Amino acid sequence: MAVCKVCFRHCRLEEGETGFCGARVCKGGEVIADNYGRITALALDPIEKKPLNRFYPGRRILSVGSYGCNLRCPFCQNYEISWSEEAVSFRDRADQFSPGELAAAAAGCRNRGNIGLAFTYNEPLVGYEFVRDTARLVHEEGMKNVLVTNGTADLSVLEEILPYVDAMNIDLKGFSDSYYRDVLGGNRRMVMDFIEEAVKDCHVELTMLIIPGENDSEEEMKEVSGWIAGLKGPDGSPVGKDVPLHISRFFPRFHMTDREPTDVGLIYHLADLARERLHYVYTGNC
């Protein structure tokens, strides 16, 4: 038996057994990334789609996804490759890429406005080893690396990848333990710890998807924006007011079709509340 240490679940796996995320497996008495180099999605996207609004705006980035996720968001936008019955079939159909092949693909798109490589679509940190190995080669090409993540990972994982990551968009999905635990199957404290460390050495933007009846109150937005505003840099100086926050509108999707899309007026109102504490607040899906 081996224990996976990527996230708070600490899955205890027998030989050949796959973890909760669907991407890590016990082989030879250790837990490895079974999705290493197995690519399900590849596209040249606007950087703003990540979303990153204050990192090379107007440019594009080659975006790559694998499969697997350690959360269970019922509104998942990429459930076909993250977690679902469909995701299982994607494992068998994934294309195999080496880190060098992906780095070369990113470099080959320079003439199309590409600045580097973004690890996105599914949860990239369940296969952090491939992120680390590929991002290092992308840096050697003189290009940038972006990570789009739910932030549900141990700080030891962050330490492995941080030297090679230039920007992150991290989902801060809500600000209550019950929402993270009961709706998402996650751990809010782990995400907060991840964000607190990431902002010290990396350009970070945060995204909060507003779900009607779940995380849409004025009180929660005040708590979220206040906490962000208090984030510190590596020397202890305040940096949080300059951390961009993207407040996004929900649309019924996947297993959450029991409610209407978030009211546009509410999104704008919550954004105004956040602007009382933060310098850069953006609205999405409006």
DSSP 20-64: TTSSEEEETTEEEETTTTEESEEEEEEGGGTT-SSSSTT-EEEEE
The overall average pLDDT reported for the chain is 96
Residue 92 confidence (pLDDT): 74
What does the alpha-carbon distance between residue 225 and residue 40 come to, in Å, rounded to a whole number?
35
pTM here? Answer: 0.96
Percent of the chain whose pLDDT exceeds 70:
97
Closest CA to 12 of 27, 34, 31, 36: 31
Residue 99 confidence (pLDDT): 98
Least confident of 87-96, 100-109, 207-216, 274-283: 87-96
Residue 100 confidence (pLDDT): 98
Q: Given CA atoms 121, 124, 130, 135 in this order, what sign does their dihedral have?
A: positive
Does pLDDT of 90 surpass 80? no
Does pLDDT of 91 surpass 80? no
pLDDT per residue as tens digits for the range 143-181: 999 999 999 999 999 999 999 999 999 999 999 999 999
Structural domains in the chain plus CATH codes = 2-284 (3.20.20.70)
Non-local CB neighbours of 14 within 8 Å, separated by 6+ positions: 1, 26
What does the alpha-carbon distance between residue 160 and residue 131 come to, in Å, rounded to a whole number?
10
Does pLDDT of 93 surpass 80? no
Q: Among the residues of 9-124, which ranges form H helices?
A: 85-93, 99-108
State how far Cα 118 lies from the chain centre: 10
Residue 86 confidence (pLDDT): 61
Does pLDDT of 35 surpass 60? yes
What does the alpha-carbon distance between residue 281 and residue 286 come to, in Å, rounded to a whole number?
14
What does the alpha-carbon distance between residue 199 and residue 209 come to, in Å, rounded to a whole number?
20
Widest distance between CA atoms in the chain: 54
**Is-contact 226 274, C-beta < 8 A?**
no
Residue 28 confidence (pLDDT): 95
Residue 85 confidence (pLDDT): 65
Closest CA to 205 of 117, 284, 112, 132: 284
Residue 151 confidence (pLDDT): 98
Separation in Å, CA 269 to CA 241, 264, 283: 19, 9, 10
